[in-house]
Structure 1
Amino acid sequence: MKKGISIIVTCTLLAMMAAGCGSNTNTKSTAASAEAEKLTEIKTKLDKEFTDYYGPDKFSGYVYISKKGNVLLDKGYGKADYEKGTENTKQTNYDIGSITKQITAFGIMQLQEKKLLDVNDKVDKYLPAFPHGNEITIHQLLCHTSGLPEYSTEFDIRKFRPSYKNFGIEGKDEKVNFLFSSGKGFQYSNPGYVLLGYIIEKVSGETLDVYLKKNIFDPLDMKNTSFRDETGHLSNLATGYETENKEKIETSWTLENIGFVYGSGGLCSTVEDMLKWEKALTEQKLISKESYEKIYTPNENNYGYGWYIFKDSAGKISYEHYGTGVGFRTYFLRAVDEDIKVIIITNYLNAPLEDMASLTKDYLK
């Protein structure tokens, strides 16, 4: 009799457990279904924004958006070349402008790990002819606190490149106007990152393009990321336009008149390669954890080394940056705590990229 009661009780408990498990499974299934439906709705709305709201008069390029492993948009819009009818694809090359800065900063950190430089070193240790180079540090160049202006036509920065014929001799009398004392403010400075590129060349003994290829692009299999060649040519490079009139932005790109910006801008890449770069950053490849922490430490104006760093009210961190090239614009967002990746690249110089970025972030909240 007792044995019979035991069997009945056991069966009852098993039935209750099965019912409970079924209830949990149903709840999880319902939640997963609702989440999938929500993601599908977001995908449709995002695509509609880039297809209809902005449309071919406002936007041409490529968009990649993902959240928590779910790809919400991975699509080209408009044309890479309107005369030839070439599509914008994941393998199309675009001028990524100031996205170059984060890669230059990465190179600096690699050299520091090899003890070939220190970010606290003064600039004149490597570029001896640069005026007031004994007053500013590599760190200040990296986080835009050196006092150098955003742009400058007052001095010929090419004289400070190690390959310059009179390197270390000419340039001492160049007029370099600083906006404030080093370390006493913030001013986004392209010349500052040009100098960082020169420092990489001086320390490594290689041109910047060779150094980046050997130490970053090849190890990460970024086969389609590089600078243009000496004539400004690059295979599969999209054509840069203004916007609605599809007017090409013509430029006489040569190493002589444009190539000196290396370090600050000028790199070209594909969305495919930029995703490889993002993956390497997420997995913290090629440099140490300590170097990554330095890169992501916000200084004045929330700027680290090649990234703007933001923390929202909930304490969630994101890294982002814009880039502008000759007829191109780029937006790159890594919201690491929410596992969000956004890459928007356009071959329209006047595309409303800030609006697009803001709208995209609103959808992803």
Structure 2
Amino acid sequence: MRFSRITSLWLLALGGIISGCGKNELQAQVLKKHAPVTAEAISFVAADYQHNRPLTGPLKDSLDATISRLFPVNRMPGITAAMLMPGKGLWQTTTGFLSQPDRQKADSSSVFYWASVTKLITATIIDQLVLEGKLSYDDKLAKWFPQFEQAKAISIGQLLDHTSGLASFNTEPAIFKKEKHYTPEDLIHIALQQKNLFPPGKYWSYSNTGYLLLAMIIRQVDNRSYAEAVRQRIAVPLHLSSLRVLTDANMPAGLAKGHNADGSAVNEDYSVPLGAGDIVSNAQDMATFLLALLNGAVIPKATVTSRLQDLYPMPDKGMFYGKGIMLTDFAEITGQPDQWVGHTGGTETYRALLIYDVKTKIFLAVSVNAHVSVEAISRKLLSVAAQQ
């Protein structure tokens, strides 16, 4: 199973560009960045969002009905979704099946996997450590992992925005199989067998290895496990009772299993990609986290804005990557003046999305335990919300 299709797609694109372009043209195409996202674009009145006030009335009924209609259309086993809407409150649902073949139903106690949305949290903890003077974005990888190629030139900042040049460990297809638990050290060994893709800072390529290393740096600098850092720095202060880091010894009974296209459930170890994709939660807690992050309750707003200054183009049209945060610009996709700020995640058997919709000022979190378009589901939910 692939942890993310981003890396392979981008490497294919990069290879094609290299074969047909000169050095300068390659750099111009790959590193042509999006204009920075301004503080005004992600400005909102936090008091307008009552995340403890459940939505009632016709809008709730319309959103619930929309989810019901989407099940047969998308052939999705289960879903957790939540919307925080200014002046309206919280809509949420967790429904369907944790395991469709077993007819094991999802309910309010269930948690879903969020894959690479984890990176949004990992990057935030790195920001906190920088603000506390325990780290610098300019610190070099060699300080902790000198065995990596060009470790003396690779910075924390480059690990955050995927310009380090490190190859991604998830080229090994067996890492999620339950037959063997791959430790972070196993993943580092896999990563060390691969050559760097390019000199640090020269191009862009999505690397789960970079975020694995960031999580291990957090462990060393913060003097506690990555899971405990997430709990103490994010989950506890924000009262996010469902949000946690999976570990090999901590697999909750209410975790939704991923599903293949034929509807069969898979038994996979989502704890493997430490810091890159090992968070589970319900949708409400994820939406609440993003609200707190963009509002300056986790790190200062100026730090959040700085993460959206250097935005590198991703393989999918209209998508750009900052420091542990994504921008989707619909002006480049549909021609409509709208943007999403947040992060997506996915495997061959799971898809997740956590975004702030700039136009409607709605926070939206969606995770589905199958490889379906959470983007299309999200657009539909936002459309319904905008009509009422």
Cα offset, 1:129, TM superposition: 2.1
The 1-side partners of 2:118 and 2:87 are apart by 26
Point out where structure 1 has 5 or more consecutive residues left out of the alignment: 1-38
The 1-side partners of 2:374 and 2:381 are apart by 10
Asked whether the equivalents of residues 162 and 210 of structure 2 are also in contact (C-alpha less than 8 Å), the reply is yes
What residue identity is the alignment partner of 1:353? Answer: V
Corresponding residue number in structure 1 for 2:200 = 182
Corresponding residue number in structure 1 for 2:277 = 265
Cα offset, 1:247, TM superposition: 0.9
The answer to whether the aligner puts 1:345 opposite 2:361 as a matched pair is no
The 2-side partners of 1:142 and 1:323 are apart by 16
- CA offset digits 1:308-353 (Å, max 9, x no partner): 12456697653032112584321112124531122111112x2233
Cα offset, 1:305, TM superposition: 2.0
Corresponding residue number in structure 2 for 1:332 = 354
Please state whether the residue corresponding to 1:109 is helix, strand or coil.
helix
Equivalence map 1:1-365=2 (5 Å): 47-55=64-72, 58-59=75-76, 60-70=78-88, 74-82=92-100, 85-153=103-171, 174-231=192-249, 233-243=251-261, 245-251=262-268, 253=269, 259-301=271-313, 302-310=320-328, 317-324=339-346, 327-336=349-358, 338-348=360-370, 350-361=371-382, 364=386
Please state whether the residue corresponding to 1:78 is helix, strand or coil.
strand
Cα offset, 1:108, TM superposition: 0.3
CA RMSD of aligned residues (A): 3.5
The 2-side partners of 1:132 and 1:159 are apart by 25
Moved more, 139-148 or 47-56: 47-56
Corresponding residue number in structure 1 for 2:16 = none
The 2-side partners of 1:128 and 1:69 are apart by 51
The aligned length equals 312
Asked whether the equivalents of residues 79 and 88 of structure 1 are also in contact (C-alpha less than 8 Å), the reply is yes
Cα offset, 1:232, TM superposition: 5.7
The 1-side partners of 2:196 and 2:247 are apart by 33
Task: Please give the TM-score of this superposition, normalised by the length of structure 2.
Answer: 0.69
What residue identity is the alignment partner of 1:237? Answer: L
Asked whether the equivalents of residues 76 and 89 of structure 1 are also in contact (C-alpha less than 8 Å), the reply is yes
Moved more, 295-304 or 180-189: 295-304
Asked whether the equivalents of residues 47 and 73 of structure 1 are also in contact (C-alpha less than 8 Å), the reply is no
The 1-side partners of 2:100 and 2:182 are apart by 39
Please state whether the residue corresponding to 1:323 is helix, strand or coil.
strand
The 2-side partners of 1:152 and 1:174 are apart by 12
- CA offset digits 1:141-196 (Å, max 9, x no partner): 11111122344548xx99996xx69xxxx97x943322222212221111111111
The 2-side partners of 1:72 and 1:202 are apart by 38
Moved more, 68-77 or 334-343: 68-77
Asked whether the equivalents of residues 297 and 304 of structure 1 are also in contact (C-alpha less than 8 Å), the reply is yes
The 2-side partners of 1:356 and 1:150 are apart by 29
Task: Please give the TM-score of this superposition, normalised by the length of structure 1.
Answer: 0.73
Cα offset, 1:287, TM superposition: 1.9
RCO (CA 8 Å, sep 6+): is it higher in 1 or 2? Answer: 2
